[in-house]
Amino acid sequence: MNLIMKLHDSSVKHVIGKENTLKEMKKNITVLKDSEFAFQVSLNEDQPFLCQLGIENHIHWTGLGDKIRLEIDVPTDLKSSFKMSFLGYVKDDDETLVGDPILNEKSKRITRKYQMIWIEGKIPNAYMKNEIRATVKAYYSQGYEKEVLVVSEELRINIIDYAVKPIKEGDFFLDLWQHPSNWARAYDVEYFSDIHFEIIENYLKDLGCIGQRVIDLIVTDYPWAGQRCYEVDKNASNLFEMNMVKVCKDNTGRIKCDFSNMDRYIDICHRYGIKEEVNLFGLIGNWDAFSFGSPVEEYKDAMRVMYFNQTDKCFDYIKTKGELKEYFSLVFNYLVDKGLWEKTLIMSDEPNNIDVFNACSDFLQSAIPNHKIKMKSAIHHQKFFEENGMNIKSLSLNTCELLNNLETIDGLKGKIKNKGGMLTWYSCCFPEKLNIFLKSPLIESRLSGWFTYYFDLDGFLRWAYGVWPGNVFEDASYKHPKWAAGDMFLVYPGKDLKPMHSVRYKNFMFGIQDFDLFKALEKKCGRYELIAELEILLGQKKNMLFVPERSVKMDYSLAYSEYMELRNKLIKKYLV
C-alpha cells in the first residue's frame, strides 16, 4: 500500500472528485481551555482497505486483508479528551457526494480513493501545560502479519490558559426549531410513546449542550401544512407535525385536554437547561392557509385541531370559533397554572397579512382576557413589525431583511429590548450567501456566530435542527431548487436513537464559542475596537446590501486561516 495522509482544518469540506480543494493546514493550532476544537485527516489510497479507529480490534465481513489502523497519540491524561470519527458522504443537489455526517462506527471498509477523518478535542480547564503534540499514526497490517507504522503526522496544539463560559451558560440566544413528530417517523415509532420520548430526550439533551434556549410546543395539528410535502414525490417525506395535546369532547359536549405529553416534553427541556422561553406553534399564521384546508371555515386563519368524540367514539376536528376559543383557553390556562405564562410567546412564522394577523391576535387574546398575550415573529419584511408591532415582543429578521435595515437596526433593537424581548436573525432556503447548506463554504457555518456579534444581535434562529427527506443518508436533496440540500437539518438520525452530528453543526457550534469569546474580549477592549478588527474580515456594514428579491451582497473572507489568526491575535492581546 502507498497511503498518503494529510492534515486539514475543521472548515475544509470534502467533495468527492474535487480533492484539489483539500488544502493542507499549518501544523499548529491555538485552543482555549474547555472549548471544543477539531481538525481533519485525509486518507488517500488506491486500493480498498479496512480502516480502524483506535485500539479495539475490528474485522470486516470480507475477512482479513489490507488494514489501516489510525491512532492519535496525545499525553496519557488527555486520551479521553480526543475522539476520531469517519465522515460519511451524502448526495447534494448536483449529485456530488459531500462529506457531512460524523459517523459513529469505529471501522469502515474504504473503497473510494479518499476518506476524511474528523478529530475533535477539548482541553480540560485544570490541564497545566501550555502546549502538547498530537500525532496521528497510521499502522498497516495484512492478514496475520504484525502491523507496521507506515505514516504519521504531528500537530502542535498551543493551549491558552483561559476558558470562556460554557455554551449553555453563555450569552448566545440559540433558537433551533424542534420537530418531534419527524423524529418519531425517522425511527418508525409511535408518536409520544415511551420510546419516542427516549428519542426526544436524546435530541433535547443535544440541543441543551449546544445552548438551546427555547422550548417549542406544537399545539395544533399540521402547522406549516407539512411544508407542502404532499406536493413532492422525489425523495418523498412526511413532514407533518402533530399536536402535542390530546384533545377530546366529553359526553356533555365540552372540550377537554390531556397535557401529559407537554408536561413530559417541558420537564425534559428543563432537565437539560432549556427553559428561557416557551414558544407556541400553530396558533397564528399557519402556512398554506386554506389551500391545505381548514375545518374552522368561519375563522380567518387555518386552524386544525383533531379531537376524539367520547360520545360517538370517533375522531373529528374542531369546526366552530366557539370551540376553538375554548381549546385555546385551556392551552393558555395550562401554561398559567404551570407558571410558564410570563415566558410564553405565540410564534408567528413569516406573517404577511396584517388584517388577518390583527384579527387572529384579538381572538387569541379573548381566550385569556386576564393575561396579556405576547407574540414573536420571524419575518421577511420589517414593515410588518413597524405597522403591527404592538403585541410582538421578540423578533427574528431574515438575513436579507437584516441587511436591508442595517442603518436602523439599533433603533429596532431598542424597541425590542424595551419590551423585554430578543432580536435575532435567521437564514432559511435563502439567501445563498452566509448560509448552512451542504454546498455552502463550511466556514459560513462558523460565521453565524461571528456575524451575530458583529451585528450586535442576541442570537440566531434556524427553522430546522433535524427534519429529513426520505433517505437522507442516500440523498439529502429535497425540493430542489427551492430548497438547497442541508437546509432542513444540522444533525442526522443516528441508529442509536441519538442525533448524529454534521461538520456543519460542529462549525456552527464553534461559531457560538467565538461569539462568547468576543463578549469576553469586549469587556477588555471595548466593542468599538473589537468591531474595527472584525470588519477587516467580515466587511464594512455600509457595503453590505440586500439585492432584491432574495439575495445579499457581502464581501467577507472565506479564508479560515485569516479568522484564526485574528482570533488568536485578539486572545493574546487582551486575555493573556
- The predicted-structure confidence for 25-50, as pLDDT tens digits, reads as follows 999 999 999 999 999 999 999 999 99
Q: How many CB atoms lie within 10 A of CB 374?
A: 18
What residues have CB less than 8 Å from 459, skipping those under 6 apart?
A: 172, 173, 174, 175, 213, 422, 424, 452
Q: Work out the percent of the chain whose per-residue pLDDT is above 90.
A: 92
| Cα separation, 284 vs 349, whole angstroms | 8
Instruction: Determine whether 179 is exposed, middle or buried from the number of CB atoms within 10 Å of its CB (0-12, 13-18, 19+).
Output: buried
Q: What is the pLDDT of residue 447?
A: 98
Q: What is the pLDDT of residue 276?
A: 98
Does the predicted TM-score (pTM) go above 0.95?
yes
The CATH number corresponding to 4-160 among 2.60.40.10, 2.60.40.1220, 2.60.40.1250, 3.30.420.40 equals: 2.60.40.10
When computed from its CA atoms, the radius of gyration of the chain, rounded to whole angstroms, is: 25
Given a contact cutoff of 8 angstroms between Cβ atoms, the answer to whether 515 and 452 are in contact is: yes
**Please, how many CA atoms are within 13 Å of residue 357, restricted to the half-sphere of its CB?**
23
Residue 354: pLDDT band (50, 70, 90) is confident
| Cα separation, 425 vs 62, whole angstroms | 50
pLDDT tens digits, residue range 105-122? 999 999 999 999 999 999
C-alpha cell recorded at residue 158: 498551543
Nearest to 177 by CA among 231, 241, 222: 241
Instruction: Determine whether 496 is exposed, middle or buried from the number of CB atoms within 10 Å of its CB (0-12, 13-18, 19+).
Output: exposed
pLDDT tens digits, residue range 256-297? 999 999 999 999 999 999 999 999 999 998 777 678 999 998
Q: What is the pLDDT of residue 195?
A: 98
Q: To which residue does cell 413569516 refer? A: 350
pLDDT tens digits, residue range 380-400? 777 777 777 678 999 999 999
**Domains of the chain, residue spans:** 4-160, 164-174+198-212+403-464+477-576
pLDDT tens digits, residue range 62-78? 999 999 999 999 999 99
Q: What is the pLDDT of residue 251?
A: 94
